[in-house]
Structure 1
Amino acid sequence: MARLGAELRRQDFVEATVKVVAEHGVAKATTRRIAAAAGSPLASLHYLFHTKEDLFYAVFELLYSVPQQALEHSPASATLADSATGILRHLINWFIAHPEVAAAQPELFNWALRNDPELANKVYVQAIDGIESIFRELPEDQLDDHLVMAVSRLLVQLVDGLVVAWCVHRDNDRLQAETEYACQALSLLASPRTTS
């Protein structure tokens, strides 16, 4: 039972971190402020997360699980193009439903770039690897490794760009339209080539 309590408390701290970073930015996301937002003692935060960096990394871990959820909405016989566009739409809709995460993600990534480039690289590589692993489970007979890598990278870059733009304009209709344009580009890249 104590383990369940610790896991729930850990999740509370991750959610509080997202909220504080979205509202105040990384520079003002102190552990004291995060603990207060979680309604917990500061000592509890430091017991579960030894450093603020560990806490920030836990937010990135939350983001890694989102593409996997897109598989629940993909048909078993999906092509690379269908899968890629389905995941892109799912991710964008997830960010619309979680605007605080949308605001916190670029803040945290830029912080990592400045303060811990190895962490930034790790986060970026894991995001791409996570997408690639989804594509590698597709039932297609032959998936070209270079194409899977290119589609995975483009998908991550499109999500990042669309989310940052949406954080600026906050127009959901515009975001949906831009997402469909991005899906068209992604689909063109991911569709099988025919030679004549």
Structure 2
Amino acid sequence: MTRIPVAERRRALIEATIRVIVRDGVAAASTRAVAAEAQMSLASLHYAFGSRDALLRAVAEEVTDAELVAARDGLLLFDEGAGQIPLVELLQVGVDRFVDLLVEHPERELALAELTVHARRTGMDDLLDHVRAVYLAAAEQNLVHAAAQAHVRWTVPVAEAAQMLVMLLDGLTWSWTGRRDEAIARRSGRFAAEALARLAVPVDDVVHPIDRHPR
């Protein structure tokens, strides 16, 4: 009998969990149901993850990691030596790649949405906090990268701009999950990019302090 590597087994179980959640909801995604969906023994599942909570966390990480890689790769489409690139264009490409992922894998976003609601209802705050922290850290990193390529600086703390980006993408994701309207998702993405771009100015812009004691 061929022995399946643990990494391959984990991936198969994550994909099986997503299918069960999309089809039957998080409540139905018991370890037994997931093992059956993956055509593995229950012992194999527990060996790979240890617990149902660990499996659900892995599902959330899988979906969020894919989203963040898509957005990051969008920025990497531009050659850093190609000169100054408008910030709104950089942001638009990153958001477009994010929307591409939503369109290509709607079942993953639905699974993450189900997991988010489930975590809130069942007090799994650590899972929600973890996902949020991953989103914010990656958003901040991408915004720093984009600003450097566009030769601009943020007029608000980058962490604050990252929070705005995550909020905008959250809204876009929930709208897409409910309506599956790609045209609206693309327009919303353009709005998000344009709104964020307004928070930046060229690096050589100087903001002069107000003279409160004119002579």
TM-score range, shorter chain: 0.7 to 0.9
Moved more, 3-12 or 98-107: 3-12
In the alignment, does 2:117 pair up with 1:107? no
AA of the residue aligned to 2:93: G
Higher relative contact order (CA 8 A, sep 6+): 1
2:198 is paired with a residue of what secondary structure? Answer: helix
Structure 1: which 5+ runs fail to align? none
Query: Residues 50-65 of structure 1: matches in 2 within 5 Å?
Result: 50-62=50-62, 63-65=64-66
**Which of 144, 155, 171 is the matching residue for 1:136?**
144
> What is residue 192 of structure 1 aligned with on the other side?
201
Aligned to 1:129, the other structure's residue is in SS state helix
> Structure 2, unaligned stretches of length 5 or more?
209-215
Question: Which position in structure 1 is the counterpart of 2:43?
Answer: 43
Give the root-mean-square deviation of aligned CA atoms: 2.7
Residues 1:71 and 2:72 aligned together: yes
Name the CA distance, whole Å, in 2 between partners of 1:44 and 1:29: 16
Matched residue SS, 1:192: strand
Asked if the contact 1:68/1:134 (under 8 Å) is kept, the reply is no
Q: Give the secondary-structure state (helix, strand or coil) at the position aligned to 2:56.
A: helix
TM-score by length of 1: 0.84
Identity of aligned residues (%): 28
More moved, 128-137 vs 144-153 = 144-153
Is the CA contact 2:155–2:201 (under 8 Å) kept in the aligned structure 1?
A: no
Cα contact 2:136–2:163 (8 A) shared by 1? yes
Aligned to 2:212: none
What TM-score, normalized to structure 2?
0.77
How many residue pairs get aligned? The number is 194
Q: State the shift of 1:72 in Å.
A: 2.9
Corresponding residue for 2:211? none
**What CA deviation, in whole Å up to 9, does each residue of 1:56-82 have, x standing for no partner?**
111222212432343333222556544
